[in-house]
């Protein structure tokens, strides 16, 4: 599949907000939309936000959420599609999306968490570079949006140049397996990646830099998901693994359980050592306060020995 680069954003462009997973908090959404407008963009809300479906699990019926995505891609005025939030339900849409329409109308699409399924399936089925980055309500709608998150969103979507070394705000990054790896970037939320295994939409790991992140899971569940990847086998052929800090792993209410006496970092280290490719733990991505925007589908380089992760290829046209 030939790779497609979306056109970079410029001030005045129209961003369409989609809600392909769970229902969104409207107050947070309003703040996030306001911030995007302050940055100089026009913003339009998709059909799902107007439907008031009332289901606590998914924002609207599958067909409505599918149409919202396809309409955003088909509309030539829209230059960027951003998720309002994650949650659950995007996986249900993958088998019915019109990937030909998406390929014929390439544009920026940004999100993380449950959007992992959409980002990776679109890239695999169309070649379009997608973006693992902030969501309108979840991140830009917080009472104090992260300056780091804002800066990296603009750097990835507006500069038209390779974003280079992804400098980390926390300084917590730790090497697990030394070495250097180089290849196209894939990945996202670990739960979604494991659910996609065995489907036509699963990302290919061979010779890839695999980005992984997780939230609100017990360490033994993280162990189970990484073991699932190990048993699948292809992760052992990856060029490198960048594993993010796992926020609330375990969730606070379960932290005292005997099964959670082992830390998630210990679990991740042991599994990554077993996988055996260059890898680091403690990256900031996904469910963390300060997150970079990482393109899915362009070349990245991981120097695990020196704790440097770089995006070395242009991700927009």
**Positions marked active-site:** 113, 213, 287
Q: Alpha-carbon distance 2 to 128, whole Å? A: 8
Show the CA angle centred on residue 137, arms to residues 100 and 152, nearest 5°. 75
Taking the C-alpha atoms of residue 101 and residue 73, their distance in angstroms, rounded to an integer, is: 7
Angle in degrees, 0-180, between the axes of helices 264-275 and 219-232, rounded to the nearest 10? 10
Question: How distant, in Å, are the alpha carbons of 44, 51, 118 from that of 58?
Answer: 21, 12, 15
Residues with Cβ within 8 Å of 189's Cβ and at least 6 positions away in sequence, in order, are 86, 112, 113, 114, 116, 212, 213, 214, 215, 286
At CA 217, angle to CA 213 and CA 223, rounded to 5?
75
Copy the structure tokens of residue 82. Answer: 């951003």
């Amino acid at each position: 599949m030939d790779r497609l680069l979306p056109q970079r954003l410029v001030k005045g462009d129209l961003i369409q907000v989609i809600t392909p997973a769970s229902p969104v908090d409207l107050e947070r959404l309003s703040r996030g939309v306001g911030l995007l407008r302050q940055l100089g963009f026009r913003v339009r809300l998709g059909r799902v936000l107007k439907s008031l479906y009332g289901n606590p699990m998914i924002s609207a019926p599958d067909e409505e959420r599918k149409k919202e995505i396809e309409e955003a891609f088909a509309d030539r005025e829209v230059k960027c599609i951003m998720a309002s939030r994650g949650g659950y339900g995007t996986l249900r849409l993958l088998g019915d999306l019109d990937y030909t329409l998406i390929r014929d109308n390439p544009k920026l699409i940004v999100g993380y968490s449950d959007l992992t399924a959409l980002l990776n399936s679109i890239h695999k089925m169309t070649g379009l570079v997608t973006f693992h980055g902030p969501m309108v309500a979840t991140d830009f709608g917080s009472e104090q949006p992260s300056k780091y998150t804002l800066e990296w969103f603009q750097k990835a979507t507006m500069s038209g140049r390779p974003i280079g070394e992804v400098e980390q705000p926390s300084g917590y990054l730790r090497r697990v397996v030394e070495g250097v790896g180089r290849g196209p970037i894939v990945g996202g939320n670990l739960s979604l990646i494991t659910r996609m295994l065995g489907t036509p939409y699963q990302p290919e790991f061979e010779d890839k830099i695999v980005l992984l992140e997780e939230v609100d899971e017990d360490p033994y569940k993280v162990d189970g998901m990484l073991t699932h990847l190990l048993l699948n086998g292809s992760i052992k052929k990856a060029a490198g693994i960048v594993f993010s800090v796992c926020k609330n792993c375990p969730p606070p209410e379960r932290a005292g359980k005997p099964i959670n006496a082992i830390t998630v970092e210990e679990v991740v280290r042991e599994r990554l050592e077993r996988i055996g490719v260059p890898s680091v733990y403690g990256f900031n991505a996904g469910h963390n306060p300060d997150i970079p925007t990482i393109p899915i589908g362009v070349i990245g380089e991981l120097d695990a020995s020196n704790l440097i992760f770089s995006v070395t290829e242009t991700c927009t046209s």
